[in-house]
Structure 1
Amino acid sequence: MAELIVQAGWVVTGIKDRDTPVIVENGAVLSRDGVIVAVGPVEEMQRTAPEAELRRYPGHVMLPGFVNSHHHVGLTPLQLGSPDYALELWFASRLPARRLDLTLDTLYSAFEMVASGITTVQHIQGWMAGGFGAIHASATKTLNGYRSLGMRASYCYAVREQNRLVYEADEAFCARLPVDLGEQLAAHLKAQAMPFSDFLRLFDQLREENAGQRLTRIQLAPANLHWCTDEGLVALNEKSRSAGVPMHMHLLETAYQKEYARRRTGKTALRHLHDLGVLGPHMTLGHGVWLNAEDIDIVAQTGTCICHNCSSNFRLRSGLAPLNAWEKKGITVGMGLDEAGINDDRDMLQELRLALRVHRVPGMDDDDVPTPSQVVKMATESGAMTTAFGAEIGRLDPGRFFDASLIDWRRATYPFQDPDIPVLDALVQRAKTECVDAVYIDGELVYAEGRFTRIDRDAVLAEIADVLGRPRSPEEVARRELGRAVFPHVKAFYADYLPAAPGNPFYAGSSMR
């Protein structure tokens, strides 16, 4: 059995409450075969395991590995030519995106995630053409990509049954277009279609193939209300419960999705899901920006989780999620970087600060705004509960996998930090990606002093640059022409979609009078 002791100046094992981290000063973690055995003073760990290898980081803070609870792609949409439109237009703008081998694409964003202290990702794949065989091959490449780097991934393939481009049936929207354009778009959308039974077969096959894997697990993803039928949602919920795996579902990301739910069901999207019986601790709602007060009560009562995607909500004009209201209700909230963070990368340290800052509503009561400990819990323990790994990750506690990042305190705080500011508070507000010195996943050192231990990052990036530096293929040229032709029709579809009456926001940040 491989035993390892990793010592640090401060070991943050987890978060006790929104104001209190649990910190062991001059502490150490003892792991055996990648699982934590004990945490405490280094001398005690050495007495427990005298033959264990000892690695010292006396000037570092050790944190549980971060969990990116909502992720989709490697190279970002902006890199591939899609500006930050409103979400519904953004989908259309992404039709021309270049194709890249999924091993390379997966590694690209995995490099960024691990370098910022992320050890586990919730990967939600989708938009693939070619049917079951091609999609299964794509999923396998993605999973192999994470495993080759040594990163942990909770994988799901998003189930889309309908309304693949706008919030109405594919056939109806294509009929709105000029005949030739409608036929081209219909063929493009049909290539992404797959029988519902094949979505379930894909889950079963991937789950069987991943049985016994330490780093990858499979879960389910009903993509969103507008993409799924009621029958599909109920069937996925039954599969989730019988297989004992969680689900992750985009919901109420935009005001347009709120209006779609009203038109389809005559009630809110959340109330509709509740009436279908698909909510509970096994369900995570991605975004949830447009949940109303009653919806939030239902989320809390059912134990349903939410993933907050702060950067994405800002970039795509989706709105400001009511994180403070979720916190007051005791809802389990994870943290997701979605397609990319505010700087078009995957920097969890920066995302922590963004969530910490943007929800600081006017007033003077500290209980009304997020705390550093709260956002760290979102990105660790709470995020873990939205994945198929659950309570096996997210804290540095005995029995959990040893996933941790070590942040150089001096580099983060140089030239000075007053000791009256608590360690975790200072770290959350000041540490940047370059301060992440080491990352352990499953007890293995996968990133150290800016380099990955398994894979040559520079070589992978050079290969990506070479592939995408070539001219577009004829298929890519045709999709670019299709995307540009379809875009104004998508915009016209939504021109009068929203009701005129404004809503009442949860946060009052300013006033016109």
Structure 2
Amino acid sequence: MSTGQLRADWLLASPGQSPEQQGARLAWQDGRLVELAAAAPDGRGLIVLPGLCNAHDHARAVRASALGAFDRPLESWLMYLGVIPGVDAYLTAASSLARSALRGAGRVMVHYTRIQGLLPLVEEAGQVARAARDVGVQVGFAVAMRDRQNIAYADDAAVLASLPPGLRAQLEPRFAKAPASPAMQLALVDEIAAACHGPGFNVQYGPTGVQWCSDALLRAIARASADTGQQVHMHLLETRYQREWADREFPQGIVAYLRDIGLLSPRLTLAHCTWARPEELALIAESGARIAVNTGSNLGIRSGIAPVAQMLAAGCRVAMGLDGLALDEDDDALRELRLLHHLHKGWGYETAMSHAQAWRVASEQGRHAISGIETEATLAPGARADLLVLDGRALMDDRLFEDVPVLDFVLARATAGHIHQVAVEGRTLVHQGRVLGVDYPALMRELMSSLRAALPGDEVWRAAVRALNGELAKHHTHCC
């Protein structure tokens, strides 16, 4: 239901930027706010803020530590994603998106890199779209596109030739299939968009990363995006090994290369940029492209700490992603915001990221990356009714002084456990700890039952992945 009203004890219409209002009445109709009026607090202690976004994720079936991937670098970590079989696409997407909503994010970017494979991809994408509708989250859906370097940042044949014969024999069948041509990949995205694109489900081109995409594929995506206006979502410079590869392959600079082929534009969102340099950030800022930083993920898989303060100083449009790897693997958007703020706010008396900037990173910029929305994420008449409502009595149970800003409490200690309500364009997704559109606990039970039943009876592939971990370490550290 996209029409409703709410009384709040505190309204933070533009957190950190405009004054906090004690006592407010909000009303919305057809997904848009129509009234924000002063009103006496009703004593429930509710705090209303603009909704949060998760600007980079993958809607995976389970969390990484369950796969044995805890504390692995990305280059090894990726291989662990293949140790579980494909299962029902709707179950996977609905459980992941419901968890995102329950933990505070009403808009989620899904870079669909882990195909379940039980249906043709167009039909599978339709199941993800149905899951998004049922949960109520607004989704950006980037169709994964790649055509090279499946094992390491080198030709597959060369990497396979360097492996012990037994391990090589196990890996070769997995990577024997020739990739689809750029034209075929673009046609598939067009087919998915024709079937699924619409309000609440924004289909995008999803090149997985420069290291995984040929020049021909990237140029084709750049042309198609320019012709259609369709957005693009891509990883860039996530790890030090990607940085080293980029410096070898693109002496003129990898971001300059993206600019020269026409891919660097306001339609592009770049996930991570953990190892981006100042001159590259300047190019990104000038282009109007966005960066989705993933702080907890970068720490968890040993990728590094992104230069977020430098990004903001350069004028980059920065959004917050969770990447399915928030610090506690719990998809808690509020805790991720706190981690992001603490790491990048500055040291001592310097301020590199203000409270207002932190909230815009977590709320405003993600709206464009996910849904193509350019307007500010403030609560005002005419604005989208994207709301995060917190239980202020629980959050501020030790409040002593009325002049301490409510936002201080939110940034210092709020978690998903304090969420009273999440609404997107007026539709309530979460209320008092429960996802309204689906039965999240039942989904998780069914998903885990399906996964356990589908597990292979042998440990051959898991053993191969563990052995490959050591070989990849040698490859990337140039150690024999």
Normalised to the residue count of structure 1, the TM-score between the two structures is 0.86
Change (3 A) 1:269 1:450: same
- Check if 1:76 corresponds to 2:63: yes
Aligned residue in 2 for 1:344: 329
Aligned residue in 2 for 1:91: 78
- Check if 1:234 corresponds to 2:231: no
- Check if 1:408 corresponds to 2:391: yes
Aligned mates of 1:108, 1:393 — CA distance in 2? 30
Q: How does 1:355-434 map to 2 (within 5 A)?
A: 355-366=340-351, 369-391=352-374, 394-434=377-417
Aligned mates of 2:238, 2:125 — CA distance in 1? 25
Deviations, residues 29-75 of structure 1 (Å, cap 9, x unaligned): 332222333433369xxxxxxxxxxxx88521112221100001241
- Check if 1:455 corresponds to 2:438: yes
Deviations, residues 198-230 of structure 1 (Å, cap 9, x unaligned): 32122212221234x332111122211101122
State the 1:98 CA deviation: 4.4
Aligned mates of 1:246, 1:435 — CA distance in 2? 34
Change (3 A) 1:21 1:250: farther
Letter in 1 for 2:326: G
Aligned mates of 1:171, 1:42 — CA distance in 2? 69
Q: What is the SS of the residue equivalent to 2:127? A: helix
* Higher mean displacement: 402-411 or 202-211: 202-211
Aligned mates of 2:470, 2:228 — CA distance in 1? 43
Aligned residue in 2 for 1:48: none
State the 1:194 CA deviation: 3.1
Letter in 2 for 1:100: V
Aligned residue in 2 for 1:171: 157
Aligned residue in 1 for 2:280: 295
Aligned mates of 2:85, 2:36 — CA distance in 1? 47
State the 1:424 CA deviation: 1.6
Letter in 2 for 1:83: F
State the 1:352 CA deviation: 0.9
Aligned mates of 1:488, 1:301 — CA distance in 2? 41
Q: 2:49 aligns with which of 63, 66, 69?
A: 63
Aligned mates of 1:2, 1:371 — CA distance in 2? 33
State the 1:402 CA deviation: 1.9
Aligned mates of 1:230, 1:208 — CA distance in 2? 26
Q: 1:260 aligns with which of 217, 227, 245?
A: 245
Q: What is the SS of the residue equivalent to 1:161? A: coil
Q: Point out where structure 2 has 5 or more consecutive residues left out of the alignment.
A: none
State the 1:336 CA deviation: 0.5
Aligned residue in 1 for 2:181: 195
Q: In the comparison of the two structures, how many residue pairs are matched? A: 478
State the 1:82 CA deviation: 1.6
Aligned mates of 1:117, 1:445 — CA distance in 2? 12
* Higher mean displacement: 393-402 or 28-37: 393-402
Q: What is the SS of the residue equivalent to 1:62? A: strand
Letter in 1 for 2:92: D
State the 1:165 CA deviation: 1.7
Change (3 A) 1:210 1:417: farther
Letter in 2 for 1:489: E
Aligned mates of 2:428, 2:11 — CA distance in 1? 17
Letter in 1 for 2:450: V
8 Å Cα contact 1:246-1:388 kept in structure 2: no
Aligned mates of 2:404, 2:107 — CA distance in 1? 29
Deviations, residues 307-328 of structure 1 (Å, cap 9, x unaligned): 1110011111111111111111
State the 1:392 CA deviation: 6.2
Change (3 A) 1:349 1:262: same
Aligned residue in 2 for 1:488: 470
Aligned residue in 1 for 2:126: 140
Aligned residue in 2 for 1:151: 137
8 Å Cα contact 2:89-2:116 kept in structure 1: no
8 Å Cα contact 2:138-2:371 kept in structure 1: no
Aligned mates of 1:222, 1:260 — CA distance in 2? 17
Letter in 2 for 1:458: P
Aligned mates of 1:282, 1:463 — CA distance in 2? 38
State the 1:481 CA deviation: 3.6
* Higher mean displacement: 462-471 or 419-428: 462-471
Aligned mates of 1:300, 1:271 — CA distance in 2? 12
Q: What is the SS of the residue equivalent to 1:94? A: helix
Q: What is the SS of the residue equivalent to 1:424? A: helix
Change (3 A) 1:398 1:239: farther
State the 1:249 CA deviation: 1.2
Aligned mates of 2:2, 2:403 — CA distance in 1? 40
Aligned mates of 1:481, 1:228 — CA distance in 2? 28
Q: What is the SS of the residue equivalent to 1:214? A: coil
State the 1:354 CA deviation: 0.3
Q: What is the SS of the residue equivalent to 1:365? A: coil
Change (3 A) 1:278 1:465: closer
8 Å Cα contact 2:9-2:46 kept in structure 1: yes
Change (3 A) 1:494 1:146: same
State the 1:163 CA deviation: 0.5
State the 1:127 CA deviation: 4.0
Change (3 A) 1:6 1:293: same
Letter in 2 for 1:84: D
8 Å Cα contact 2:85-2:454 kept in structure 1: no
State the 1:179 CA deviation: 4.4
Letter in 2 for 1:37: V
Q: What is the SS of the residue equivalent to 2:328? A: coil
Aligned residue in 2 for 1:30: 27
8 Å Cα contact 2:91-2:443 kept in structure 1: yes
Change (3 A) 1:65 1:393: farther
8 Å Cα contact 1:280-1:304 kept in structure 2: yes
Letter in 2 for 1:120: R
Aligned residue in 1 for 2:14: 14
State the 1:27 CA deviation: 2.5
Change (3 A) 1:210 1:328: same
Aligned residue in 2 for 1:51: none
State the 1:300 CA deviation: 1.7
Aligned mates of 1:433, 1:341 — CA distance in 2? 12
- Check if 1:304 corresponds to 2:289: yes
Change (3 A) 1:129 1:195: farther
Deviations, residues 136-178 of structure 1 (Å, cap 9, x unaligned): 3332222221211111111111211110120012222222234
Aligned residue in 2 for 1:505: none
Q: 1:441 aligns with which of 396, 403, 424?
A: 424
8 Å Cα contact 2:182-2:220 kept in structure 1: no
Q: Point out where structure 1 has 5 or more consecutive residues left out of the alignment.
A: 44-55, 498-513
- Check if 1:251 corresponds to 2:233: no
- Check if 1:184 corresponds to 2:170: yes
8 Å Cα contact 2:86-2:116 kept in structure 1: no
Aligned residue in 1 for 2:204: 219
